[in-house]
Structure 1
């Protein structure tokens, strides 16, 4: 049955399905927390997103060295569940503070906004580091699209649960459901670690601590063209995302009057993003990557972003926005994100858990912060929505160029690879 959707081979079915469930629980838990965060932000008077992005970036600067210290000393099957249970305890703390009403809700809202922003990037980055450690490069090209679909299903189920359980149970009590899902994620790590030898022989030796220094993730980043390219790619993706987020807010506000109408508009956009993503992840990603290689897979999202911002500059309307957001979001989650993760499958373990985490969290949130302040400044200078869309076009074009260069670098590391593929067996040399 599974072979209808993904090219699984003998011994892979169990780990692939477990990885699907693992990512589902993570993203379903986040999808439950996201509307709680947004509601508290509105009720608590949280308005200045730029300051909150900056605060998130500062927290990331502290969190990443702490995580690096853990993976340097302890094996992954202990560190990853430990991190998830740390976040679980944080969540229980927020639940108690809200139930007991011992802190002003406005302060709790700000802290919760920053915490959820850190939590989302951190747990997802750790998930993909584990996947890159568990599966080989060839397996990643075949399987990561389907595994990523588990997260998409979670992003669909989470809001459904909030919609039907928030009123009868109380919104705050849904935090407990996320806590349960986090524990399920921790148990998936334990079970997948036991199956490492089944997935691939080399994964069994990866249970040892990573070793290295606390700031190795930052140091390794500047010792490798591959990692610098991945960091720049992430920075440019985040920058275009911030500009698009603000464009979306302006367009929706101009065509939808009232909170209910705006909520319905946002929900409509997210529905099409997730629906299209799920179809592409389960039906297209693995086959596209195997047939055309990472070059095409990595280029789709930035190319659509260039065309989308040009479209918004010319026709800044709701239909253009929905089409742009749907195609860009689906292509990122279905193509670019799995493709990026394949690039990490053949690098050394210290790079997977430290440099990758630094790129996925600190670089991402740093770009968020800078881009948000930049957009705010340009908006105050009087640039309208079409002009601001045009500002994002060269940024997206640079993102496209970096993505193409990354795929060529990967092929250059293994020149004997067949045409149209991205064999990365030698890319570990680029980061050592």
Structure 2
């Protein structure tokens, strides 16, 4: 009799874990510890399977992204020319606007896992096509005459600028939609650690290959072929992601993919009422009207603007080191150096994810960890201002990236969990596309103003100290307000609408 009640209650009409435990402890229905252990065992098994597959998918995505992120600029410089990078960063906005509108339309038309699979498959095919074109004597790197009229270079840059919002961003949106706050706290650190391993593997391979071109028999080929190998590898990794997501949807029962249960139920009611599809511009409207979402945008702004400032110093150092005796920059040497730094960043992020983030989240919670991020960044900036050497700039750049990708980004992404689908996918896409561009533009503006300040002078310290102090102070305030709102929503089991 009770076994029959158990299967009707749990399998036919799914309830969340809290309700399920209340059901089993209800007087007259509880049969001892056997059924309780069974349901706990099933929940744990499927949660572990879900996050194992999510970790594998994220590992593949970040492995590909590590290659794409470094090749985007170097290949553009090799085809179009370094002097046109500022124009490319401005013009890319006009490519991203229709791309973001198309994405918003697809959010209303297809399911969450299909959206992720579509973009991974699309970018995988595009990267294979780009791999072929890189070897073209007319359009690719074999043509050593840089020119702004070489259209392939512009298309290459614009399309790969969309990789972060439409592949990495969509993966996070999907992960947030199938996870609840407790799962994020216990499993996001492991998922990020898995992604760091993917990034380390591709970065280490790229660095070793670029550093040993023509020196070992299995790398006895040209710079052009080496870049084709890397781009082709990233394409293959992306094309494997839809397969992993397909296995996830087949092997994990739907009831373990609801995510934040109160949001899931509300979205079901909206779907039945016919109000689920809100249009392509709803994400932009939400971002502009919601203080909570503007706060998340602010977290992106703080990191990206700082990253631009430090990246400028980093590129100058690497470019100088990559010059040969003839005064020309070696493309393979420059690319290899960038990949080596990316490897170090992923390695530091792996250590931070495994031994820091998980413990801190479980012990202190979201708000305290959000406040810890600007504190750690402030320590790095103080070191940067005090030491002022080439090695210190490299160390601070790697440290800032490790903190962002392994600590700050998982925290920032988990803030989307108690929100509706429009915020998770549409508003988030506007932040990931145009929010980052605005942030980088702000950082570039500061670099333009401060680039004439000589390190070690009073003017340099005054300009940089003022910029860093204001940014860190506002970052602390934003982190506190966001953390307080998130924890209040989770504790009261509510949905954050604004």
1:381-422 Cα shifts (integer Å, max 9, x gaps): x323462532530223322321122112223435xx4xxxxx
CA 1:191–1:350 in 2, change beyond 3 Å: closer, same or farther? farther
Q: 1:141 aligns with which of 185, 197, 211?
A: 185
1:250 deviation in Å? Answer: 4.4
The aligned runs of 1:315-334 (5 Å cut-off) are 315-334=387-406
Q: Specify the SS of the correspondent of 2:160.
A: helix
Rounded Cα–Cα distance in structure 2 between residues aligned with 1:25 and 1:87 = 13
The answer on 1:248 being equivalent to 2:314 is yes
1:350 deviation in Å? Answer: 1.6
1:327-385 Cα shifts (integer Å, max 9, x gaps): 32222222211111111111111211101111122201222134224422442xx3234
Rounded Cα–Cα distance in structure 1 between residues aligned with 2:384 and 2:321 = 15
Query: Who is 2:245 aligned against?
Result: 189
Q: Specify the SS of the correspondent of 1:47.
A: helix
Query: Who is 1:350 aligned against?
Result: 422
1:140-190 Cα shifts (integer Å, max 9, x gaps): 111111111222112111123334567357221433322221111112222
Query: Who is 1:63 aligned against?
Result: 99
Rounded Cα–Cα distance in structure 2 between residues aligned with 1:297 and 1:213 = 35
Query: Who is 1:368 aligned against?
Result: 440
**What are the ranges of 5 or more consecutive residues in structure 2 without an aligned counterpart?**
1-42, 211-218
The answer on 1:297 being equivalent to 2:353 is no
Query: Who is 1:50 aligned against?
Result: 86
1:233 deviation in Å? Answer: 1.6
1:5-38 Cα shifts (integer Å, max 9, x gaps): xxx9342121111111101111111223344334
Rounded Cα–Cα distance in structure 2 between residues aligned with 1:16 and 1:263 = 33
Q: 2:65 aligns with which of 25, 30, 50?
A: 30
Rounded Cα–Cα distance in structure 1 between residues aligned with 2:44 and 2:360 = 18
1:294-323 Cα shifts (integer Å, max 9, x gaps): 123222332232332333233211343244
Q: Specify the SS of the correspondent of 1:180.
A: helix
Rounded Cα–Cα distance in structure 2 between residues aligned with 1:116 and 1:179 = 12
Q: 1:199 aligns with which of 245, 251, 256?
A: 256
Query: Who is 1:112 aligned against?
Result: 156
Rounded Cα–Cα distance in structure 2 between residues aligned with 1:370 and 1:211 = 34
Q: 2:231 aligns with which of 162, 175, 192?
A: 175
- More relative contact order, 1 or 2 (CA 8 Å, 6+ apart): 1
RMSD: 3.0
The answer on 1:338 being equivalent to 2:338 is no
Q: Specify the SS of the correspondent of 1:213.
A: coil
The aligned runs of 1:250-289 (5 Å cut-off) are 250=316, 266=338, 269-289=341-361
* The 10-residue stretch of structure 1 (196-205 or 336-345) with the greater mean CA deviation from structure 2: 196-205
Q: Is residue 25–residue 185 contact of structure 1 (8 Å, CA) maintained in 2?
A: yes
* The 10-residue stretch of structure 1 (302-311 or 266-275) with the greater mean CA deviation from structure 2: 266-275
1:240 deviation in Å? Answer: 1.1
Query: Who is 2:497 aligned against?
Result: 430
* The 10-residue stretch of structure 1 (30-39 or 362-371) with the greater mean CA deviation from structure 2: 30-39
The aligned runs of 1:399-414 (5 Å cut-off) are 399-413=475-489
Q: Is residue 225–residue 430 contact of structure 1 (8 Å, CA) maintained in 2?
A: no
The answer on 1:20 being equivalent to 2:20 is no
Query: Who is 2:454 aligned against?
Result: 384
Rounded Cα–Cα distance in structure 2 between residues aligned with 1:318 and 1:80 = 40
**What are the ranges of 5 or more consecutive residues in structure 1 without an aligned counterpart?**
1-7, 418-422
* The 10-residue stretch of structure 1 (61-70 or 370-379) with the greater mean CA deviation from structure 2: 370-379
1:230 deviation in Å? Answer: 0.6
Query: Who is 1:212 aligned against?
Result: 278
The aligned runs of 1:144-159 (5 Å cut-off) are 144-159=188-203
1:197-223 Cα shifts (integer Å, max 9, x gaps): 253456888898962110111011133
* The 10-residue stretch of structure 1 (79-88 or 213-222) with the greater mean CA deviation from structure 2: 79-88
Q: Is residue 177–residue 258 contact of structure 2 (8 Å, CA) maintained in 1?
A: no
**Length, aligned pairs only:** 413
Rounded Cα–Cα distance in structure 2 between residues aligned with 1:198 and 1:243 = 45
1:256 deviation in Å? Answer: 8.2
Q: Is residue 70–residue 79 contact of structure 1 (8 Å, CA) maintained in 2?
A: yes
Q: Which of the pair has more CA radius of gyration?
A: 2
Q: Is residue 301–residue 328 contact of structure 1 (8 Å, CA) maintained in 2?
A: no
Rounded Cα–Cα distance in structure 2 between residues aligned with 1:268 and 1:165 = 11
Q: Is residue 370–residue 411 contact of structure 2 (8 Å, CA) maintained in 1?
A: yes
Q: Specify the SS of the correspondent of 2:286.
A: helix
Q: Is residue 56–residue 114 contact of structure 1 (8 Å, CA) maintained in 2?
A: yes
